[in-house]
A and B are shown apart, each in its own frame.
Chain A
Amino acid sequence: GAVVSQHPSRVICKSGTSVKIECRSLDFQATTMFWYRQFPKQSLMLMATSNEGSKATYEQGVEKDKFLINHASLTLSTLTVTSAHPEDSSFYICSAFRPTTGVKREQYFGPGTRLTVT
């Protein structure tokens, strides 16, 4: 079953409003989560790395004031798209590493959130 969940799965908002997307790790603690964006028929582009208890690390070209990331707990990271515009319409996917035995890590991806800004 899914080990990383996202909510909502789909959201439609009006231009100028803000929308929050949640990413939760189920039954494990994730000190690091990643947020990706995927435009239609394109690959995933990393937006930022979310670290629990500290500021997120944003990739070059991603506006940190527009895409607010809060990793408030070891099981929850949120992405808030502020003052959304139609060009922000995209598929947003989060990912987290699930610790296993020793140094091995498994990375799981959420099911994604489809954001449409009208």
Chain B
Amino acid sequence: KQEVTQIPAALSVPEGENLVLNCSFTDSAIYNLQWFRQDPGKGLTSLLLIQSSQREQTSGRLNASLDKSSGRSTLYIAASQPGDSATYLCAVRYGGATNKLIFGTGTLLAVQP
């Protein structure tokens, strides 16, 4: 069964800290992996997408890495800000570009001012 797990489930850090969110997946034959942000009661905002052939992607203060062989991805957030507070979801896609996404359990991040 293809499963995606995220650790930790919740994280609280003071403003300015660098932090790492973890994602693991049981089937390493992924097509791509995507990180999303979800604010309370809202839809999803795509942050970064990593193709299976890539090792990392960067956007501003965000950096996502992918290690297919170990079934892991990390999302690194530099110099965290209170506005980064949200739930972060990792999702993997198998088989093709328009196939369904399998979502992880999410990490609820709170950045304290």
Contacts and interface: CB of A to CB of B under 8 A. Distances in A.
B98 A105 contact: yes
Contact of B103 (A44, A49, A108): A44
Contacts of A6: 43
Nearest to A106: B46
Given A42-B105, A43-B106, A44-B89, A110 B43 contact: yes
Pick from B43, B102, B103 the residue with the most CB of A within 10 Å: B43
Interface of A is mostly: strand
B89 A32 contact: no
Nearest to B105: A43
B97 A104 contact: yes
A109 B41 contact: no
B44 interface: yes
A54 to B, nearest CB: 15
Q: What are the 5 tightest A-B residue pairs by CB atom distance, in nearest-first order?
A: A109-B44, A111-B43, A43-B103, A44-B103, A109-B43
